[in-house]
């Protein structure tokens, strides 16, 4: 009884120790800390967008195409709308799309990779052929086709290519990397001694997958999630720039860039500031991904143990 009672405490302490080690290695990566600070600032600014004294659609034609000033820190657009406010609201859209795409991709890709890697054989062959079929498609062209079709659908949740629609379109192809990554991890981990011991003690397949194998694949999944977040922002910006993404008047960083292309030579700030937001968010997320990859790297852990 006493041994059974202490097992959760031991497991919790090991998890806490592992988390502390990951955080310790992560914070030693200056680029990752820089990225974490920058993306945190962008998220906070996006969340505080309603506090702006200007509305995202508030137009003053007498002040159109004004350069940055004290009253309009990033200038105004062709309709006299405050660009800083529209960038903040555009950040809410672009960052939300990135988050939803990651959730959708993990929800689809992780179970497919887990079942494929754990069961192998015919299950693995079938699921991987489906994954290969998605990987063989020219993803961005298919994204344009899907978004152009859904743009005409008059449904409450999918009207005019809203955030949910674009997230589903991008997430429909974003899961493949997660599936292959998780499959590779499961193919290795299913042959380990602790999995064999759990199976010998009568553990069900679902318990072994969720309790024993999947937690050991959290590191690669977390790193890929940060990278997928950045890819989703780029793809949403690209679709919106081409007119197939978030539709005006809803602002996103991509369609703000698209609206600026006709005025770039005369009013460069219309393109510079949305482009800068995309650049800062992507490079920050990539730095965070690099830091997480180093933090979860088992070889770094072994090197550290070898020093003692």
Domains defined along the chain, listed by start: 29-50+87-306 (1.10.3720.10)
SS3 2: helix
CB neighbourhood size of 260 (10 A): 22
User: Are the C-beta atoms of 245 and 252 separated by less than 8 Å?
Assistant: yes
pTM of the model: 0.82
**Torsion sign across C-alpha atoms 254, 259, 264, 266:** negative
User: Are the C-beta atoms of 233 and 282 separated by less than 8 Å?
Assistant: yes
Distance CA 244, CA 64 (A): 26
Cis geometry, peptide bond prior to residue 249 (ω within 30 degrees of 0): yes
Q: Percent of the chain scored above 70 by pLDDT?
A: 86
Q: What is the pLDDT of residue 292?
A: 82
The token pair at 207 is 């318990």
pLDDT (tens digit, 9 = 90+) per residue, 96-120?
999 999 999 999 999 999 999 888 8
Q: What is the pLDDT of residue 178?
A: 92
Q: What is the pLDDT of residue 164?
A: 83
CB neighbourhood size of 261 (10 A): 10
Q: What is the pLDDT of residue 286?
A: 87
Q: What is the pLDDT along the chain (308 residues), one digit of tens a residue?
A: 444 444 444 444 445 555 666 777 777 878 889 999 999 999 999 999 899 888 888 888 888 888 888 888 898 888 888 999 999 999 998 899 999 999 999 999 999 999 998 888 899 899 999 999 888 888 778 888 877 777 776 666 666 667 888 888 888 888 999 999 999 888 888 888 888 888 888 778 788 888 888 888 888 888 889 889 988 888 888 888 887 888 777 888 888 888 888 777 888 888 899 989 999 999 998 888 888 887 776 555 444 444 44
């Amino acid at each position: 009884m006493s041994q059974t009672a202490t097992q959760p405490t031991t497991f919790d302490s090991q998890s806490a120790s592992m988390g502390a080690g990951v955080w310790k290695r992560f914070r030693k990566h200056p680029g990752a800390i820089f990225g974490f600070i920058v993306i945190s600032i962008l998220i906070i600014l996006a969340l505080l967008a309603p506090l702006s004294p200007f509305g995202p659609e508030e137009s003053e034609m007498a002040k159109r195409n004004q350069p940055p000033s004290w009253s309009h820190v990033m200038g105004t657009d062709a309709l006299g709308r405050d660009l800083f406010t529209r960038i903040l609201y555009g950040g809410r859209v672009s960052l939300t799309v990135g988050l939803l795409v990651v959730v959708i991709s993990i929800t689809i890709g992780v179970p497919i990779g887990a079942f494929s890697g754990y069961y192998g054989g015919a299950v693995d062959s079938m699921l991987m052929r489906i994954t290969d079929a998605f990987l063989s498609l020219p993803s961005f062209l298919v994204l344009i086709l899907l978004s152009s079709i859904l743009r005409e659908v008059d449904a409450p949740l999918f009207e005019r290519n809203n955030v949910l629609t674009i997230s589903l379109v991008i997430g429909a192809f974003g899961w493949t990397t997660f599936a292959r990554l998780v499959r590779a991890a499961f193919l290795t981990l299913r042959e380990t001694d602790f999995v064999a011991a759990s199976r010998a003690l009568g553990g069900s397949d679902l318990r072994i997958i969720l309790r024993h194998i999947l937690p050991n694949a959290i590191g690669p999944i977390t790193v890929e999630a940060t990278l997928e977040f950045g890819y989703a922002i780029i793809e949403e910006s690209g679709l919106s720039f081409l007119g197939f993404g978030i539709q005006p008047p809803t602002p996103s960083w991509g369609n703000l860039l698209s609206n600026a292309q006709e005025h770039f030579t005369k009013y460069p700030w219309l393109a510079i500031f949305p482009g800068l937001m995309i650049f800062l968010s992507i490079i920050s997320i990539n730095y965070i991904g690099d830091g997480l990859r180093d933090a979860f790297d088992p070889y770094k852990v072994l090197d550290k143990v070898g020093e003692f």
